[in-house]
């Protein structure tokens, strides 16, 4: 059968079906930042930790196969559905939304949001390999992709934000666990236009008053001080872990009604 041009495109959905992956069979609990697999790539089996993002993204299809197919992650769909619901309630056209996708990775979140009619995407990630994987797996989806640190953004990144003026922060499956810390989340939130939107997911335990990650204090202050006006809040299963445990996250969608204070980041 002839191979069409689109079938030869190196997109994630094609690459992920060719990958051979072995997942540890275990009842032992791994912390989320300790999970690993072995993957067959370039004629050898390699052990890769999920949180070694540079290595994960450099293997075409690995992130999507592991997180979305095997771990059945549904966070982008949850955030997309709730954001769509909130926009519809306020009769806001999704085409007017300009997303700043923090911890964008290889672009799965932007892909889901584009299915709801959102067209403007600026990615931000700390890893260059994430930007390269987004262009490899979902070419052209992001008009801009900033590789950098939102608390200390380089000149080029600041210019992009000044030009685009994002009015919606998305941050999916990227808060805590050595990924995005509270100060980076706060800086990204503060960069959104007044009365814009925030749509994010966070492990529900991080919202518990006993939590020590800093997110519980920051997000409770944002809500209590009226800086984040919650439109939708839902607890759901984010994905399964290596041992089969269901990981419970909270999705929050809200309007930005002010700036965070530095003292809220502890
Ligand atoms: C679990 S992945 C989630 C990727 C994507 N949001 C998704 O849901 O498919 C977490 C992402 O956060 C990024 N990340 C970690 N620390 C960061 C930081 N300080 N600033 C920006 N991105 C960061 C990682 O490189 C990685 O791409």
CATH code for position 92: 3.40.50.150
CA angle 241–20–77, rounded 5-degree value: 45
Report strand pairing: 246-256 vs 228-240: antiparallel
27 and 133 in one domain? no
> Do 34 and 161 have their domain in common?
no
Nearest Cα to Cα of residue 79 among 147, 12, 169, 142:
169
In a shared domain, residues 129 and 210: yes
Binding pocket residue ranges, ligand 1, CB within 6 Å: 53, 75-76, 102-105, 108-109, 124-127, 130, 172-174, 179-180, 184
Same domain, yes or no, for 153 and 187? Answer: yes
Same domain, 49 and 83: no
Domain shared by 214 and 190, yes or no: yes
Q: Which of 123, 186, 128, 185 is nearest to 157 (CA)?
A: 123
CA distances for 186 relative to 35, 165, 179, 232, 259, angstroms: 27, 16, 14, 19, 8
Each residue's pLDDT, cut to its tens digit, for the chain (266 residues) gives 333 344 444 456 667 778 999 988 876 777 877 899 999 999 999 999 999 999 999 999 999 999 999 999 999 999 999 999 999 999 999 999 999 999 999 999 999 999 999 999 999 999 999 999 999 999 999 999 999 999 999 999 999 999 999 999 999 999 999 999 999 999 999 999 999 999 999 999 999 999 999 999 999 999 999 999 999 999 999 999 999 999 999 999 999 999 999 999 99
pTM as predicted: 0.94
Atom of ligand 1 nearest to the CA of 124: 21
Residue 173 shares a structural domain with residue 130:
yes
What residue numbers bound the domain in which 41 lies?
5-70
* The last residue of a domain, from among 27, 47, 70: 70
- Cα–Cα distance, 135 to 60 (Å, whole number): 11
Structural domains in the chain (count) = 2
| 141 and 223 part of one domain | yes
Question: Last residue of some domain: 40, 70, 100?
Answer: 70
Rounded to the nearest angstrom, the distance between the alpha carbon of 174 and the centre of ligand 1 is 5
Q: Ligand 1 pocket test: pick from 126, 170, 199, 213 the residue with the most ligand atoms within 8 Å of its Cβ.
A: 126
């Amino acid at each position: 059968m002839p191979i069409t041009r689109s079938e030869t495109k190196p997109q994630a959905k094609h690459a992920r079906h060719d990958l051979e992956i072995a997942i540890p069979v275990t009842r032992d609990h791994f912390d989320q930042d300790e999970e690993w697999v072995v993957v067959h790539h370039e004629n050898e089996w390699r052990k890769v930790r999920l949180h070694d993002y540079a290595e994960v993204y450099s293997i075409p299809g690995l992130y999507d196969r592991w997180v979305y197919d095997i771990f059945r992650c549904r966070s982008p769909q949850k955030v997309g559905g709730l954001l769509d619901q909130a926009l519809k309630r306020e009769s806001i056209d999704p085409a007017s939304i300009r997303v700043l996708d923090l911890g964008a990775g290889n672009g799965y979140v932007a892909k889901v949001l584009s299915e709801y009619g959102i067209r403007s995407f600026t990615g931000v990630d700390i890893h260059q390999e994430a930007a390269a994987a987004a262009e490899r797996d979902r070419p052209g989806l992001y008009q801009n992709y900033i590789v950098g640190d939102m608390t200390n953004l380089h000149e080029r990144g600041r210019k992009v934000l000044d030009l685009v003026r994002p009015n919606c922060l998305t941050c999916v499956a990227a808060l805590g666990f050595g990924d995005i810390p509270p100060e980076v989340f706060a800086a990204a939130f503060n960069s959104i236009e007044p009365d814009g939107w925030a749509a994010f997911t966070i492990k529900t335990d991080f919202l518990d008053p006993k939590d020590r990650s800093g997110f519980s204090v920051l997000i409770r202050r944002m809500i209590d001080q009226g800086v984040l006006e919650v439109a939708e809040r839902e607890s759901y299963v984010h994905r399964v872990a290596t041992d089969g445990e269901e990981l419970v996250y909270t999705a929050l969608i809200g309007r930005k009604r002010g700036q965070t204070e530095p003292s809220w980041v502890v």
